Every structure is written in structure tokens, then in C-alpha cells.
Amino acid sequence: MEPSELKEARRRARQLTGEIEQHNRLYYQEDRPEITDAEYDRLLRELQDLETRFPELRSAGSPTQRVGAEPAAGFETAPHRSPMLSLDNAMDADQMRAFVERLGRKLDRGSQQIELIGEPKLDGSGVELIYRHGELAQGLTRGDGRVGEDVTRNIREIPSVPARLSAGGGPLPEIASIRGEVVLPLAAFSTLNRARLAAGDEPFANPRNAAAGSLRQIHQIDHDRLRSLEFRAYSLAEGMPRSAKNQAEVLATLSRWGFVVSPEWRTCRGLDEAMSLHGELLEARDRLPVEIDGTVFKLSRLDQQAILGTLSRSPRWAIAFKFPPEQAITVVEAIEAQVGRTGALTPVAKLAPVRVGGVIVSSVSLHNQDEIDRKDIRVGDTVVIQRAGDVIPQLVRIVLSTRTEAACADARFERYRLPARCPECGGESIRLEGESVTRCPNLDCPAQLKNNLRHLASRGALDIDGLGEKLVEQLVDATLVGRLSDLFTLSEEQLAHLERMGARSAANLVASLERAKETTLQRFLIALGIRHVGETLADLLAVHFGDLDPLLHASAEEIERIEGVGPTIAESVARFFSDEANSAEVARLREFGVRWPPIEAPREPGKRSLDGTAFVLSGTLSTARDEVKKRIENAGGKVVGSVSKKTDYLVAGESPGSKLNKARELGVRVLDEAELEKLLS
């Protein structure tokens, strides 16, 4: 093999990994995906293919080996009792057939003899519920599949989550781990989005994100939103009755215990029956009360499932046969570059309006230059647009056969290149080596300024009444505002000169600017528009630091010590405040009177109860070591490598080895994980 081939594959694998991780974060942590499932699957598949061709590219940390993203900030985390796996997808009949044939080969049967069970693939948020002696003890989100977020409090409010299992006709297991999907029924989804739009909030892209968002509310919990969720159970990872022989009996057990099970499941003998169930579900899809995006087929018999086994990411005995996404055909009328809040130049295709999946689509993001090149999208092209469950439309591909001579003769018909100069400020745009994004690096670029101003004025930030999109444009274009803080220098007189602005509205705006100065630290942090800092993170920072000044000088390492804050975010926050222009701007905002009350108790009471206490960890712990270490450190303790007389506690997991003997010799107290847990809480 040519070394250059491997080099190219490595470059592409790195790029794909970066993209997939970014989309994992958007999907799992922020509940706002930017690409469709189909596009995501395409990226993952490309990476899988590369790793198959060049096995040296596959590492344990590769997204092909993991599920989802690390849990988001703000929730306590807890390990799953066993990993929560994902499912492999079949995107068409061929892939479905290949799956069944593979089962046939492994089980030594023809593909019409394989017994499968088909269930609707619920488009919600996967969770694990733990019942101890029949009582609900814990509810976890999937998280990264290994560790999830503890959402027990919220989950208890979902009406279809039984607080206790009904025993009706049999003993209950000591521990039961039930997996299922939290979904938001479509009726509740539209009610929720209507309310959000009316309140000026961004609507959720789809019921799945709305469900995940509702389930993971941390502050000012909207209980109605929780009550409108529904939990549907589909598997039992622990606590299986001995009598259960197949998945149908598992579902029957779940129903008997009091769970809602999607009623559309059916046992199918062979590929043909499976295909026809899939067709029926596709046809019934629009009439169902909850969103489904395919059929999950599982090998019916549990003993056969065990023969097939699981891979690190997904079981070999199940597959998600996805529905085809909803598509339509239209024409690209223009391609424009739009400048975002971070200066990213995003190419956007303006389309002849077309109806896809119930809404009119007239523009679609083309993401970046690579995407345009890969799909070779040009003005005048006929293109396929899709809206797969998501509200965000995608351009799937161009229809090459319609590239007529006339179309090609069109003066605009040439390869599109993102402009070398920013369309807003005229400054040079740049694209860094290894990055897919082209940026305008000019921090004073009016486009960035406008976006930052809009963000600062938004509800979750300073909530400036009357400072809408139009006015922001005017203020920047008239050079009345050249940076955020200039807003607070505006006088009624200056404002009154603007078009469509009377003395009355000028006075109103000045008054609401005055009101907006009185804010909270959390809102202020959001208002600054620091990358990755949304509501949850701003909250964590505010509570941890108590006021702005300690945060201004905090290093990335210090910020990362906050539970739930990862290195990327910590780095982004530290970098923001160490930038001179930014800190000058922060100072100016305060000078002009933006203020907030300090936060009374910056740390949760008792949190630092372990100040100065030394721990040694030994053996295999059920939680990742880094996580345990972080928690001990958050409580003021420290974790050291070896046992000495100065050690206060040895935490012994499974097979603790020689450290345990040493600890006993020295009389160091030994804790098991449960005892450590007590100490920490």
C-alpha cells in the first residue's frame, strides 16, 4: 500500500472524528442537532469503512467504538449497571437483508427461518430505570453509554413511570434495570413549540430534542413539561424472570409490571414478514401519537441473542431499520455566505420554495466549502432536499441529469467558492489548516457585532426590551454602536434620529437599557457570547466562582475542576477572559453600570467537607477513576498514588491487590465504594 494512501486516510479519519464528536455534542448535550440522522450515519459509516480498510486507524476512543457523548454539565452522573448500547442501522432493504442473512449464517438457518421481533423505533431519549425490590431507585440518561446523568427527580414526575412495580402474578427481582425511551407525544410537542414561539424562545427542532430537553431541565423546572412526557419500555437488562424465553415475553413482563409498551410490536418469521411489518409501520407512521423513525428488529429468542453477542457499540442481534427520510426536489437560485456570531462564513443555498415534510423550505445551509465541493453544488442545479424528522432541512445531492446545456451556460454556473473577503466587513477571510470552517477573523466585523448584540439583548441574556433585529442593524450601520458596551452610551437624542424611531420609542429603549443593567451574573456571562457558554454552563460558573472577578483570572485548569466542565469548555472560557479586548469590554460594561448581586453561597454547603483528606484508589471501581478523583477533589480531598501513614482512606474496588494489604498494615481506614459515596454526599 502506498504510504500516501494511509496518510490521506488518517487525515480524513481525523476530520470525520472531529465532525462526529461535534455532532455528538450538539445532539446529546445540547439537544440541537445540526444534521439529520441520515447524514450522521453517513459520517459514521465512512469512518467505519476507513477503519476497516486501515485497522491501525481504529482506537478505543474512536466514535465508532462509543455511544453518544460524555454527559453534559450540571447533573450528577452515575454508571449504568451494564452499558447502554446503540443500534446498528439498516438504511435500505439490502442492508436489512444482509443483517438477516448474517443472523442466518451464525445460527445455521435460512433467512426465512429466523424469528425476529419488530418494534417501532421510538424517536426519543433513551433512559435506564433502576428498581430495587420493586421501588424506583434511579433514572439515568444514556450519556456516553457507560455513565449517564442522574435524572431521577425529573423522571419520577413522568406519569407512565411507575413508582413501584406491580407484582401481579409473580415475585419481583431484587434489582431490575429497565431500558426504554422517554418520548414527547406529538400533540404535546406542538403545544410546547407554540408556547415557545409565543414567548420568543427558539422552538425545538423535533420531538426527540424536546423530550431530551424536558427531561434534563435543571433550573426552574417546568413540571407540566415533565408530566407531558411518556416513558415506553423495550428491554430488561437486569431482573429478567427465569421463565422469559424471548423478547415477546420480556415485553409482556414489562407490561405486567406496569410499563407502557408500544402496542405495534409483532413477531416475524423470516425476512419477508419483517419487511412487511416495516412497510405497515411506515404507512401507519403519521397516525401514531408518537414520532417513530423506523423499526427495530431483534432476534426474538434470548438464547440466540446470547449466541450472537454484542460489539462495543451495539448488539449483533438487533438492527434499526430506518424509514426513508422525507425528500423533495427544487432548484438552487443563489448561494450566499452568511457571517455568524463567531465569524464563521456559512454558505447558504437560496432555493425555489418547496414543500418538504409539511413545511416550506426556501434556504438550506451548505455547512462549509468541503461540503459544497463534495456535492459539487452550483447555482442553477436541481437538488434533493430532505427533512428527516428534524426541522433543519438538508441538501442531499444534486440531480446530475438535469444539468442541461442551458443551465451550464448560465453565467452563474461555476463552482462556488466562499468569498476571499468577508461579505460584511470586507476583511480577508481565512481557513486554518485542518479546519472545515472559513472565518472572518475581524472581531470588529459588523456581522459579528450584530449577532453578538442580538445575543446580548436576547431573553436568556440581558433581555433588552425593544432591541430587535432591525434596530441592531440600524445601530451598527449608523456606527452608533461599534462594540457591545456602546449600547449603554446611547442617548434618546441619538436614537430619535434613526429611521422609524420616534422620541417615544427612543425614550422607551433608553429606559429598557437602564433596566437591563440590573442583571444576574449568570445572565451576564451568557450575554458575553463566550463559545460553549449557555444557560447551564453560566450557572455552573456563577455558582462556583460567586462573582466575576475570580473568574476573570481563573486558569483553564481551575475552571475544569468544576464538576461537569470539560477541557474544551474550560479552555474557551479562560481564553475569552485572558483576551485583552474582551476584558476591556467587560470592564466598560461594568463601568456603564451593568451590575449583579454577588451569589451568596458560592459552594453547596458541606461540599468541601474533605478538605485536606488524602485518598488512595485501588482495584477496579464501578465509576471511572477520573470521575471518582474529580469528585473527591471537588469535596476538598486529594487522591495520591500510594499508601503511606499520611493516607486517610483507601478506597477498595474489585481486586484491590497489594495496596489493600499495605493499608491494613498501616492501619489506614478502608472504604468500599458505597462508603465513599456516603462520605461524598
- Residues marked active site are found at 121
Residues within window 178-207 making contact with ligand IVH, judged by CB under 6 A: 181
Q: Which is nearer to ligand IVH, 231 or 416 (CB)?
A: 231
Q: Which is nearer to ligand IVH, 87 or 562 (CB)?
A: 87
- Full 3-state SS string of 575-616: HHHHCHHHHHHHHHHHHCCCECCCCCCCCCCCCCCCCCCEEE
Region near ligand IVH per CB under 6 A, out of 120-128, 208-216, 474-482, 607-615: 120-128
Between CA 248 and CA 344 the distance in angstroms is: 51
Smallest distance, Å, CB 166 to ligand IVH? Answer: 22
Backbone torsion region of residue 415, taken as left when φ is above 0, otherwise alpha when ψ lies between -120 and 50, otherwise beta: beta
Smallest distance, Å, CB 118 to ligand IVH? Answer: 9
Q: Which is nearer to ligand IVH, 206 or 522 (CB)?
A: 206
Smallest distance, Å, CB 480 to ligand IVH? Answer: 51
Region near ligand IVH per CB under 6 A, out of 23-31, 115-123, 370-378, 506-514: 115-123
Between CA 27 and CA 16 the distance in angstroms is: 16
Backbone φ and ψ of 590, nearest 5°: -70, -40
Query: Which set of grid coordinates corresponds to residue 36?
Result: 439529520
Between CA 620 and CA 312 the distance in angstroms is: 19
Contact letters for ligand IVH, residues 124-163 (x by CB under 6 A): --x-------------------------------------
Closest residue to ligand IVH, judged by C-beta, is: 126
Smallest distance, Å, CB 120 to ligand IVH? Answer: 6
**Between the CA of residue 414 and those of 334, 365, 400, 510, what are the distances in Å?**
12, 19, 14, 49
Instruction: Tell whether the torsion through CA atoms of 587, 593, 598 and 599 is positive or negative.
Output: negative
Strands, E assignment, 190-326: 230-238, 266-269, 292-299, 318-322
Residues within window 590-649 making contact with ligand IVH, judged by CB under 6 A: none
Between CA 332 and CA 412 the distance in angstroms is: 11
Contact letters for ligand IVH, residues 397-436 (x by CB under 6 A): ----------------------------------------
Smallest distance, Å, CB 469 to ligand IVH? Answer: 38
Residues within window 318-347 making contact with ligand IVH, judged by CB under 6 A: 318, 320
Between CA 150 and CA 136 the distance in angstroms is: 13
- Half-sphere exposure in the Cβ direction for 291 (13 Å, CA): 23
Residues within window 304-323 making contact with ligand IVH, judged by CB under 6 A: 315, 318, 320
Q: Which is nearer to ligand IVH, 189 or 576 (CB)?
A: 189
Smallest distance, Å, CB 315 to ligand IVH? Answer: 5
Q: Which of 119, 144, 149, 560 binds ligand IVH (CB under 6 A)?
A: 119
Residues within window 286-305 making contact with ligand IVH, judged by CB under 6 A: 296
Judged by CB under 6 A, does residue 121 bind ligand IVH?
yes
Which among 594, 597, 595 has a CA at the least distance from the CA of 488? 594
Residues within window 48-67 making contact with ligand IVH, judged by CB under 6 A: none
Between CA 64 and CA 60 the distance in angstroms is: 9
Q: Which is nearer to ligand IVH, 315 or 566 (CB)?
A: 315
Class of residue 12 by CB neighbours under 10 A (exposed 0-12, middle 13-18, buried 19+): middle
Smallest distance, Å, CB 91 to ligand IVH? Answer: 13
Q: Which is nearer to ligand IVH, 237 or 398 (CB)?
A: 237
Q: Which is nearer to ligand IVH, 246 or 458 (CB)?
A: 246
Smallest distance, Å, CB 208 to ligand IVH? Answer: 10
Q: Which own/partner pairs from 467-473 qualify as long-range (CB within 8 Å, at least 24 positions apart)?
A: 467/509, 467/512, 467/513, 470/500, 471/498, 471/501, 471/509
Residues within window 503-542 making contact with ligand IVH, judged by CB under 6 A: none
Q: Which of 235, 451, 458, 634 binds ligand IVH (CB under 6 A)?
A: 235
Q: Which of 28, 234, 416, 649 binds ligand IVH (CB under 6 A)?
A: 234
Judged by CB under 6 A, does residue 458 bind ligand IVH?
no
Q: What is the CA radius of gyration of the chain?
A: 28
Residue for grid cell 491494613: 664
Q: Which is nearer to ligand IVH, 296 or 651 (CB)?
A: 296
Smallest distance, Å, CB 609 to ligand IVH? Answer: 37
Residues within window 74-93 making contact with ligand IVH, judged by CB under 6 A: 85-87
Between CA 375 and CA 259 the distance in angstroms is: 46
CB of 343 closer than 8 Å to CB of 439: yes
Q: Which is nearer to ligand IVH, 143 or 637 (CB)?
A: 143
Q: Which of 9, 91, 96, 122 binds ligand IVH (CB under 6 A)?
A: 122
Contact letters for ligand IVH, residues 246-265 (x by CB under 6 A): --------------------
CB of 476 closer than 8 Å to CB of 484: no
Size of the site for ligand IVH (CB under 6 A): 14
Q: Which is nearer to ligand IVH, 119 or 424 (CB)?
A: 119
Smallest distance, Å, CB 310 to ligand IVH? Answer: 7
Q: Which helix (H) or strand (E) holds 385?
A: strand 382-386
Q: Which is nearer to ligand IVH, 126 or 446 (CB)?
A: 126
Judged by CB under 6 A, does residue 471 bind ligand IVH?
no
3-state secondary structure of 342: coil
Q: Which residue blocks in 360-468 are alpha helix, DSSP H?
A: 369-375, 405-409, 446-457
Which among 585, 462, 459 has a CA at the least distance from the CA of 513? 462
Smallest distance, Å, CB 248 to ligand IVH? Answer: 13
Please provide the distance, in angstroms rounded to a whole number, between the alpha carbons at the two ends of the chain.
56
Q: Catalog residues that contact ligand IVH under the rule CB under 6 A.
A: 85-87, 119, 121-122, 126, 181, 234-235, 296, 315, 318, 320
